[in-house]
């Protein structure tokens, strides 16, 4: 979800005089509690969103972010999801990434293994609460979380389920897919495409021999588009591949959610890998042909003014048809013990 959408919300609300409508549409059937987790020498700030009524113990969905400096609510983008889980009797837990919105540290200093340990710490913290049912804790994650979710589920066999939304499998193949999709979207010709691929191959060669950031800048010149911090992040993670961890988590129920207009993750490859590694008895695949990578309706995401208006006035309709209700139905099955294991 583009951050620009949310940054203009306040201005548009004031200009349109729609404050009352916006407040109503952005009020969710949730009880949100600000929470704090100490991990790896830093304090992480987050939100525990519980159902509007009751005392629990509730099942819990722990959120694992994709790429970027994401806060606990993902600029409020998570709240419709939290509400759908709450209506199914589940709480949701999400922490701001290190260095974001009050959390200490720096997310760009993390490896995928670091992110997995952070998530395991969040799960352990949740199991210590009397209002959370430690036997019904699952994970929800998107995009870059595809390298984190399997590590967590493999390390903690008590994880009840995993919901993987447009997850990446292999860093290098995903990067190439993303690059080619962007070039097609921008209408790049053969010469521009060839130049972009050469630039990508040069960058990969530098990464493989452990080149410094200064060497990267000197080699690519004006084409060097990564900051020093981003370069360090990529050097830590560019070899990421989820297959080994997927094999290690066999037996954990997995819902794989795929978008038909995903220009960042190769949905066909992801489905092939998941089906090839995970038992059919524990894997369910949900396709949303009209959705973009964010699971927002593709036609909506491509029309900026309408996307912004929907984000303000009808935020629950940002997601493609059926996505919210389907997630609630999925987690309900684990209440009665009918979920596969």
- The pLDDT tens digits for 31-90 are 999 999 999 999 999 999 999 999 989 999 999 999 999 999 999 999 999 999 999 999
Residues 6 or more apart whose Cβ sits within 8 Å of residue 139: 61, 62, 64, 119, 149, 152, 153, 159, 161, 162, 163
User: Are 106 and 115 contacting, i.e. CB atoms less than 8 angstroms apart?
Assistant: no
pLDDT band at 335 (very low <50, low <70, confident <90, very high): confident
Q: If you average pLDDT over every residue of the chain, what do you get? A: 90
Residue 205 has pLDDT above 90, yes or no: yes
pTM of the shown model: 0.90
Maximum alpha-carbon separation in the chain: 62
Nearest-angstrom CA–CA distance, 329 and 232? 40
pLDDT band at 336 (very low <50, low <70, confident <90, very high): low
| Dihedral pair phi/psi, residue 182, rounded to 5° | -65, -40
Mean pLDDT over 200-223 rounds to 96
pLDDT band at 312 (very low <50, low <70, confident <90, very high): confident
Alpha helices in the chain (DSSP H): 3-7, 9-16, 19-25, 79-87, 112-127, 149-155, 171-185, 190-208, 213-220, 228-237, 243-248, 267-277, 298-301, 304-313, 323-332
Q: pLDDT tens for residues 95-132? A: 999 999 999 999 999 999 999 999 999 999 999 999 99
- What is the predicted pLDDT for the residue at 253? 97
Residue 8 has pLDDT above 70, yes or no: no
pLDDT band at 221 (very low <50, low <70, confident <90, very high): very high
C-beta neighbour count of 56 within 10 angstroms: 15
Structure tokens at 226: 């990564």
From the list 171, 174, 164, the residue with the least C-alpha distance to 283 is: 164
- What is the predicted pLDDT for the residue at 10? 46
On the CB side of 68, how many CA atoms lie within 13 Å of its CA?
11
């Amino acid at each position: 979800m583009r951050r620009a959408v949310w940054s203009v919300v306040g201005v548009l609300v004031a200009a349109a005089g729609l404050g009352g409508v916006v407040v109503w549409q952005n009020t969710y059937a949730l009880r949100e509690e600000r929470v704090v987790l100490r991990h790896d020498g830093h304090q992480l700030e987050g939100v525990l969103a519980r159902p509007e009524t009751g005392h629990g113990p509730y099942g819990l969905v722990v959120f694992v972010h994709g790429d970027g400096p994401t806060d606990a609510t993902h600029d409020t983008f998570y709240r419709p999801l939290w509400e759908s889980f709450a209506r199914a009797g589940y709480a949701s837990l999400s922490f701001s990434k290190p260095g974001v919105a009050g959390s200490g540290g720096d997310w760009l200093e993390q490896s995928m293994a670091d992110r997995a340990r952070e998530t395991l710490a969040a799960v352990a913290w949740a199991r210590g609460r009397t209002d959370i049912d430690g036997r019904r804790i699952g994970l929800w994650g998107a995009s870059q979380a595809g390298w984190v979710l399997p590590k967590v589920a493999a390390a903690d066999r008590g994880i009840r389920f995993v919901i993987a939304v447009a997850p990446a499998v292999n860093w290098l193949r995903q990067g190439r897919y993303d690059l080619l999709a962007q070039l097609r979207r921008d209408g790049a010709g053969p010469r521009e495409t060839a130049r972009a691929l050469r630039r990508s191959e040069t960058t990969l060669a530098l990464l493989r021999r452990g080149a410094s950031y200064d060497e990267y800048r000197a080699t690519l010149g004006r084409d060097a588009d990564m900051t020093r911090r981003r370069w360090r992040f990529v050097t830590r993670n560019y070899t990421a591949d989820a297959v080994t961890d997927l094999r290690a988590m066999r037996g954990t129920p997995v819902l794989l959610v795929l978008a038909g207009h995903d220009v960042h993750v190769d949905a066909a490859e992801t489905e092939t890998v998941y089906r090839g590694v995970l038992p059919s008895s524990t894997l369910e695949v949900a396709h949303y042909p009209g959705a973009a990578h964010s699971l927002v309706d593709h036609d909506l995401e491509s029309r900026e003014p309408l996307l912004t208006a929907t984000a303000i006035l009808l935020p629950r309709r940002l997601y493609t048809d059926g996505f919210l209700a389907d997630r609630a139905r999925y987690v309900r099955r684990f209440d009665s013990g009918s979920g596969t294991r």
